[in-house]
Structure 1
Amino acid sequence: MTVTVHRAPVSGIPPLTLYRILWLRVTVFVVEQQAAYPEIDGRDIEPDAELMWAGDGDDVLATLRLLREPANTRIGRVATAAAARGRGIAADLMRSAVAYLDAEAPGLPILLDAQQHLAEWYGRFGFVVSGDAFAEDGIPHVPMRREAPGR
């Protein structure tokens, strides 16, 4: 298996690949987690938004979304296909995303909202809990923050 990491705005993603990315997100967040919510929320098409994904040929194994906000950047919609879990693919994708944002937006912190049970996993990439726990679609979450290098 040869896993490659890709990054592009929605407009630069081939239609079948974009379909597979969105299918994976809906499968994980709506079907597996039984959270009926508008997964396709309009943020994917913001001017500076990009999607990253790890793929093997035509298969999308993991994905995440990068957003630019006025005082920070944000990672969200981190999802891994069930068959690809436990193989380090999402970790490689996260490392790539953090390295890219550190280079692309130096000096800005990276924020994310983690499902509470995954806070320790995100901690491996330098994120720390930065506020009170909250429920989103009935799932416990915590806000997390990673300071820019050198801050």
Structure 2
Amino acid sequence: MLDIFTKKFNELTTQQLYELLQLRSEVFVVEQDCVYQDIDGKDKKALHILGYKNEKLVAYTRLFKPGDYFKKSSIGRVVVLKNERQHKYGYDIMEASIVAIKNHYNETEIKISAQVYLKKFYNNLEFKEIGEEYLEDGIPHIAMMRS
């Protein structure tokens, strides 16, 4: 079971910020062997969803209200620590993110830019593909929407 916290950027402790940047780097840069600029200036506008297990950050997303990233509200930087994925924490952190968008932004329409290999995972969360696949930082992605 995850302990899930929702925080604005200015509510994050230095430790939490370090942990979330470390987790994102570990998965998106090192594990996926993708050189890209993770610290993109958008974290200040985002709502951060942190999932802890035994006081260790193992799952994370960041959320945006409509207009801050896409025209619709959005969820991005969805990440679960590799050795914790068998516990299906991706579903826990995504479900908490969907609820947080409803509670904080009063929105139900959510757009994501999903890595193609995770389409079925997002389909299970009621996201549907829109448009064609595209490359983002050298990795196949597809836009998906949830209403």
TM-score, normalisation: structure 2: 0.92
Letter in 2 for 1:26: S
| 2:126 corresponding residue in structure 1 | 126
State the match for 2:139 in structure 1: 139
Aligned residues of 2:101 and 2:107 also touching (Cα < 8 A): no
Residue 8 (str. 1) matches residue 7 (str. 2): yes
- Distance, in Å, in 1 between the alignment partners of 2:13 and 2:83 is 23
Q: Is the 8 A contact 2:2 2:51 kept in 1?
A: yes
Match of 1:89 in 2: 89
Identity, in percent, stands at 29
SS of 2:140's partner is: strand
Which deviates more, 52-61 or 137-146? 52-61
Mapped partners of 2:107, 2:12: distance in 1: 28
Structure 2 match to 1:75: 75
1:63: which partner in 2? 60
- CA–CA distance in structure 2, aligned partners of residues 101 and 45 of structure 1: 16
The equivalences for 1:9-28 within 5 A come to 9-28=8-27
Q: Which has the higher mean CA deviation after the structures are superposed, 9-18 or 120-129?
A: 9-18
Residue identity opposite 1:42 in structure 2 = G
SS in 2 for 1:145: strand
Contact 2:29/2:35 (8 A) holds in 1: yes
Contact 1:72 1:108 in 2 (8 A): no
Over 6 Å off, 4+ runs? none
Deviation at 1:102, TM superposition (A): 2.5
**1:112 has 2:109 as partner:** no
The SS at the match of 1:91 is helix
- Look up the equivalent residue of 1:124 and give its one-letter code: N
- Separation in structure 1 between the aligned mates of residue 97 and residue 108 of structure 2, nearest angstrom: 14
Alpha carbon RMSD of aligned pairs, Å? Answer: 1.4
Offset at residue 136 of structure 1 (A) = 0.8
Gap runs ≥5 in structure 2: none
Q: Distance in 1 between matches of 2:9 and 2:75?
A: 15
